[in-house]
Amino acid sequence: MTHILVIFFMILGLLLSGCESHNTTSTQLSGELDTDFGIGGIVTDNNASGGNGTDNGESIIVVNNSIYVAGYSSNAETSPSWDMALWAYNLDGSLNQNFGTNGIVTDNNASGGNGNDIANSLALAHSKLYVVGYSDSDVSTSLNLDMALWSYDLNGSLDANFGTNGIVTDNNASGGNRNDIGKSIFVTETKIYVAGSSTNSASKTDMTLWAYDLHGSLDPNFGTNGIVTDNNASGGNGNDLGYALTIVNNKIYVAGESQGVNFRNMTLWSYNLDGSVNTDFGGGNGVVTYNNANGDSFARAIAIKNNKIYLSGGSHNGVNVDLAIWRFNIDGTLDTNYGEDNGVTLFDSAGNGDIGNSIVIDDNENAIVSGTYSITSSVVVMFDSNGKVASDNFATNGFYLDTNAVAYGSTFNNDKSKLYVTGHKIQTNIDMSIWSFK
């Protein structure tokens, strides 16, 4: 009898351990605000640059015990403009007093035009904060924006060993000598990659990739003198724009849009680390597009997990723009087992202007997208591993709304038990905002 009991418990233990192996993460976000953060789960800040106008968060990262947000803030100049702004917070939502001045750093005039300086994305690597966006080099016209790349030490001081006094700018990447904009950044062990756009000589916009070494010099072994551009991906000979960038398994992926014959098409490019086209992607030409017969489609964010590529953005349904999520296989083919329509899911508020501005994937392959809902509200929505709205598992009916707000960037904390989202709330002024979800 004793031997039978031993065998029984051994089998039971094996069965239990087998069941546990299917649970890939111990944490499932509920979509509720974390009331231990800020006030009721939300932190806001205005007047970072002294102009008492608009403050906005575009990108957010969490590293160890610090939260960093990059964006912009209205300054107090005689002719007010926006300054690049960088905020640092502790995990309870208090500003990190050991960073910059009272937890905030701002910078204007990176390109010498004394106009708008905007941060669109940031990354932390090699004990440095890298911030990318643009700077107005000719405030009189606002038609000569330079891609701007800042490097900071973790105390908020500019990195004296990077570029010129911690800043690198670039204009005319595509030969049009007008607007160059950095939208997304990715830092490897040896290189800094930036995706964005540059005006060409025909006054159209090219998708643009820059590659720098860690001191801010363009990498001569990447593309042509450190730069790759692409236009006309969708055949419309119009504007091509890169919005989001990631690197996985030594392949670069850029998500954005390209003008087709009739509408803007969601576009996904892939390159090797030297800037050459990834011929294993998109039928050999390194690019795939999504053509919506009803109207425009565009991507604003990208994430890759388990050899699946997730994009979020917007797609027109014939009446208005829906928040859209696409899932591709690693070769660039749509994953037809995902979503409501062969790799695509649309989320519709029945209003106009639903857009997914950021996307993160949890360990259960749930996709959490943050963005705008019917133009006037921020939304955070969870899609399950099949691409359906997780109506029973997240917030209320699968999504969280905040009126008079917009969400732009999002990130998990280290163990994915919290989700942090940044953007702005319209209060007396427009305030930079962070939402914390548990």
Q: Which domains are present in the chain?
A: 34-437 (2.130.10.10)
Q: If you average pLDDT over residues 333-337, what whole number do you get?
A: 97
| Whole-number pLDDT of residue 314 | 96
What are the pLDDT digits (tens) for 105-114?
A: 999 989 887 7
| Whole-number pLDDT of residue 411 | 98
**Do residues 146 and 190 lie in contact, with contact meaning Cβ atoms separated by under 8 Å?**
no
Q: What Cα–Cα distance (Å) separates residue 237 from each residue in 144, 263, 294, 325?
A: 22, 11, 20, 26
Output the CA torsion sign for 346, 347, 353, 356: negative
What φ, ψ does residue 329 adopt, rounded to 5°? Answer: -75, 165
Q: If you average pLDDT over residues 246-275, what whole number do you get?
A: 97
**Do residues 352 and 374 lie in contact, with contact meaning Cβ atoms separated by under 8 Å?**
yes
The pLDDT mean for the chain works out to 91
CA distance linking residue 41 with residue 333, whole number of Å: 39
Asked which of 17-26, 37-46, 382-391 is least confident by mean pLDDT, the reply is: 17-26
Q: What Cα–Cα distance (Å) separates residue 401 from each residue in 379, 390, 422?
A: 5, 15, 14
pLDDT band at 141 (very low <50, low <70, confident <90, very high): low
pLDDT band at 5 (very low <50, low <70, confident <90, very high): very low
In degrees, to the nearest 5, what angle opens at C-alpha 201 toward C-alphas 196 and 202?
95
Q: If you average pLDDT over residues 270-293, what whole number do you get?
A: 95
**CA nearest neighbour of 423 among 438, 435, 412, 414:** 435
CA distance linking residue 159 with residue 167, whole number of Å: 8
Residue showing tokens 């090699």? 126
Contacts (Cβ under 8 Å, ≥6 apart) of 13 = none
* Cβ burial, residue 185 (10 Å; 0-12/13-18/19+): buried
Residue showing tokens 């989320």? 347
What is the reported pTM? 0.92
Using the CB atoms, write b or e for 222-241: b if 16+ within 10 Å. Answer: bbeebbbbbbebbebebbbb
CA distance linking residue 148 with residue 350, whole number of Å: 38
The HSE-up count of residue 315 (CA atoms within 13 Å, CB side) is: 21
pLDDT over 50 (residue 129): yes
| Whole-number pLDDT of residue 352 | 79
pLDDT band at 142 (very low <50, low <70, confident <90, very high): low
| Whole-number pLDDT of residue 349 | 82
Q: What Cα–Cα distance (Å) separates residue 329 from each residue in 153, 286, 332, 338, 342?
A: 38, 13, 5, 10, 12
What are the pLDDT digits (tens) for 37-60?
A: 999 999 999 989 988 889 999 999
The helix/strand/coil state of 85 is strand
Q: What percent of the chain has pLDDT over 90?
A: 81
| Whole-number pLDDT of residue 76 | 83
Q: What percent of the chain has pLDDT over 70?
A: 92
pLDDT over 80 (residue 248): yes
